[in-house]
Structures are given as structure tokens and as C-alpha cells.
Amino acid sequence: MIPIKLLELKGKEVVGFNKYPEFVKALNNVLGKVVEIVNEQDESFEGYYLLPIGAISCSNFSKSIINEKTFLLSVINSSIPQYIEKFTPAGITNWMLFKNASTAVIGKSQVIEKISTREEGNDMMYEDYGYDEYVPIPFDGTYETVAKSILSYLEVYDKWLKSK
């Protein structure tokens, strides 16, 4: 499994992501260990950072923080195109992670094509940016399923990124 860390930036309170502790607990359960929480990125780290966003505007971040090694958690739907355009992150979960575990994984189209089981012809809202989305199956409303979906996406994304 690829290494991941939770990135909780000092001075950037995550507003609206009330279920974040539940997500972290589920992530720990899936990993079988406590995921490390850090306050800044380490350039020597070979894995990916999960960064809770909530209602924070993308103007509050720089490209040194959000990049192809950063997966964003709980981004408000209307802000997703701005985050993608400005930063091209590893991937994103939408705002439903605020409320419950019914969220889509948004990521690079080439990676989503490899892991999605959806039928052709579905709406591709982020296609112009080279991103696509899929809803994890099984869709059981648990944070464990969300964590597994993010981790499995990042596994395929990591292989894709290294072969690029």
C-alpha cells in the first residue's frame, strides 16, 4: 500500500467537515494503523497527503501545498473546478463527505477509467480539466468504503503518475 499522511495545516481551520474525526477513524481501521497527522509537507515523503478542505477557498492555498501528491477531502462542489484548474491535485472528494459518507471520488480521467464500473455515456462534469468522477461501489454509506475508495484510487493513480 502506498504511504499516506493527513495534512492538517496550522491556521487553516476546516469549516463544515464535522464528520472528519469519523473519517479519520475509518481510515485508521482500513489501514490497520493510526495514520500520521502532519502540519507541513516533507519533500522527501514518497507518498500522498490527504488534505481536509471543507469550505476553505482555493485562494487560501499555494501550489506548493496542493499539487499532484495531494488528495483533497470534502471540497464544496462549486469550488471543485477552481481547485482542479489552479492546482491539479491527485484527487478530490466532494462536499457530501461533510454530511455523510455518500461521496464521489474525482480524479484523473485516465485513472478513473481503470477503476470505474459505470456505463458509457454518464455525465463527465470535469472532462475539460482531464478529471472525471465515480461513485464507489459498494455504496454502503460508510467511511470505511470511502477510505478504501480513496486508497484504491491512489494506488492506481500512483502507477499512472510514475508511468507518465
Contact between residue 114 and residue 105 where contact means Cβ atoms under 8 Å apart: no
For residue 142, give its domain range.
4-163
pLDDT tens-digit profile of 10-48?
877 777 677 889 999 999 999 999 999 999 999 999 999
Among residues 1, 21, 133, 12, which one has the least CA distance to residue 65? 12
What tens digit of pLDDT does each residue of 123-162 get?
456 777 777 776 665 667 788 988 998 999 999 999 999 9
Q: How many domains does the chain have?
A: 1
Mean residue pLDDT across the chain: 85
- Please check the confidence at residue 102 and state whether its pLDDT lies above 80: no
Is residue 151 within 8 Å of 98, Cβ to Cβ?
no
Report the C-alpha gap between 159 and 115 in whole angstroms.
13
**Strand bridging mode 91-94 / 4-7:** unpaired
* Strand blocks (E) in 8-82: 37-38, 48-54, 70-75
Please report the beta strands in the chain, taking only residues with DSSP state E, as ranges in sequence order: 4-7, 37-38, 48-54, 70-75, 91-94, 105-108, 131-134
